Structure 1
Amino acid sequence: MKTVTVTIENHIAQVTLSRPEQSNSLIFDTFKDLTEAANQLAENNTVRVIVLTGAGKHFCAGLDRSLFPQKPGTVDWFEEHVFNELDELAANLFQRCVTAWQQIPIPVIAAVNGAALGGGCQVALGADIRIADATTKMSLMETHWGLIPDMAVSLTLPPLMPKDVAAEILLSARILDAQEAKATGLVTQLTDDCYASAMALAKNIAAKSPEAIRATKKLYQAAWGEPKPELLRLEAQLQRSLLGTSNQVESVRANLEKRQPVFNE
């Protein structure tokens, strides 16, 4: 894997986004690597818990700008490389790197420091538990770029917060500091050192019966509602309708040029 490293020690797997010079921004390979890592660990019976983290100062700054649709009609590339990646749950490649962590029978703890923006925030939401520190900033900022969050947010967000809170976060696309991320439910726990705390919790979990650990995840996943593939299909459908439109492209250009967008009515 080019963008993700996996290490296993004492029944704990550590999955690390490993592009620190680029703030672990998401490129095409990252989506595939995250999914591959989850699929490999799902088959490893020695692993009892997973810690998902980012190398360096940031968990994940979101979609790399090289993937931003900046020309009208660029939906064709996404149709070929993203929207044709279907399985029984996920409706596109982007969703798969999140749903894979939801479906894996092993609990996943995300250690979230620095930026967790856009797609980076959605990757963190794929974990069962999110531990952050004072440096953490989170945002579901896709409307800022003329898009919607389409990385399984319809699966991961509803159990965490009321609809009106989610609506404000999604529509405003604003960046939340660590305290507000905790208050809204995006973060499970705030600590002085998110990585140390995540590893301490992982060691606690790894010391327990592996069958009980897996059964417990199966129970809480079922109790909070089975995933609905039709909602993930809706995410993909709505994103398709926005990608490459004149107003979506104008959103990207205006942000990159640091000016107010001028939209077609």
Structure 2
Amino acid sequence: MAVLVGCRSFWQSFRVQAAHRQSACRLAAAFFSRRYVLSNRVVLCPRLNGHGAVTRYYSSDSKDDLRVRYLDGEDSGIVVVGINRPKAKNAISKNLVKMMFEAVEDIKKNKKVRSVILCSLVPGIFCAGADLKERAKMHQSEVGPFVSKARALITELGSLPVPTIAAIDGAALGGGLEMALACDIRISSNTAKMGLVETKLAIIPGAGGTQRLPRVIGVSLAKELIFAARVVDGTQAQQMGLVSHSVEQNDSGDAAYLRALELAREINPQGPIAIRMAKLAINQGIEVDLSTGLAIEEACYSQVIPTKDRLEGLAAFKEKRQPHFKGE
């Protein structure tokens, strides 16, 4: 069965009118037949790190800046990506961008992954945005390419074929919020602080903030927040639709993460191919007119019809039991 593990190049060519629906479906079928192999850049460490999870470290001089846990047991299929730069408030550095690129690439190619949680391993902070200390040491000619690379990273995060959940248990400012905006779902603690504050530095959001925030909360309100460099808490963020859930922070400071884990566990039993196709249909459909969006839905639906999982779902329904989907 053809399983989607990447989509950007295909869908750039897919923006067609409804009249070309059959052609679009043929293109989709051709694209979804592609196969990928796992990257060999990941070093798998044998030690466990909570929830029965195996920690994967990525090649870097500062290996602890990012920890990626592939949960196992009943949580198999859930990947937890944890940012861990306590001295820099999880600020986005060259090294962190490099490590996250590797992590995203590995996740993108692994068809066993069913959902991703992006969180912080540093109490009270999600991500403070760009590493301004590092930025101050850059030559002017280096700034543009670095911002472009950070933007590309966040675009890749947003293009992952599986559901992504940002667990915001602390401050998510500037690029940190832009990273969260690239995720499908955002969950915050009520005490978390969020904002695109770049105008305070006489710059603008440069990693998708000016585009994704208006799509999430509306144009007028997004302009207000960006123009005023306003910071909102989790409760306010939920009221304006910036986050889906705002939960009361607990003593250990990981309430949003725990709620995100609950949601990932809700997603886990569902048909993995169907989830990928649903995400693709939604993400691409909202960018085009309704007729073209319906053609996209039809192309995605055609990919689930020949799957073993669909037959398993029908059999389980008939036999009054829980289905066991394998992503086939």
Q: Structure 1 length as normaliser, TM-score?
A: 0.76
For 1:230-241, list aligned pairs within 5 A: none
Structure 1 equivalent of residue 163 of structure 2: 107
2:120 matches 1:54: yes
Q: Contact 2:188–2:243 (CA<8 Å) still a contact in 1?
A: yes
CA offsets, 1:30-67, max 9 Å, x none?
12222221111000011000000011221111112213
User: Which of 99, 104, 108 does residue 33 from structure 1 map onto?
Assistant: 99
Gap runs ≥5 in structure 1: 84-91, 227-265
Aligned counterpart, 2:270: 208
Name the count of aligned residue pairs.
215
Could you tell me how far 1:182 is from its partner in structure 2?
1.6
TM-aligned CA deviation for residue 4 of structure 1: 1.4
**Distance of 2:184 and 2:215 partners within structure 1:** 11
Aligned AA (2:283) = Q
For 2:178 and 2:98, locate their aligned partners in 1 and report how far apart those are by CA, in whole Å.
Answer: 15
Percent of aligned pairs with the same residue?
31
Tell me what 2:243 maps to: 187
**Equivalent position amino acid for 1:49 in 2:** S
Aligned equivalent of 1:22, options 88, 98, 111: 88
What letter is aligned with 2:92?
L
CA RMSD of the aligned region, Å?
A: 1.7
Offset, 1:69? 4.3
Deviations 1:53-99 (A, max 9, x none): 0112211111122134489xx421224x426xxxxxxxx10111211
SS at match of 1:225: coil
Give 1:60-71 correspondences, 5 Å limit: 60-69=127-136
The residue number in structure 1 matching 2:223 is 167
Distance 1:15 1:50 in 2: 7
Pick the aligned partner of 2:234 from 171, 175, 178: 178
AA in 2 matched with 1:125? L
SS in 2 for 1:110: strand
- The aligned counterpart of 1:132 is 188
Deviating 4+ runs (over 4 angstroms): none
Deviation at 1:213, TM superposition (A): 1.0
Distance change in 2, residues 1:70/1:46 (3 Å)? closer
The DSSP-based 3-state class of the residue aligned with 2:127 is coil
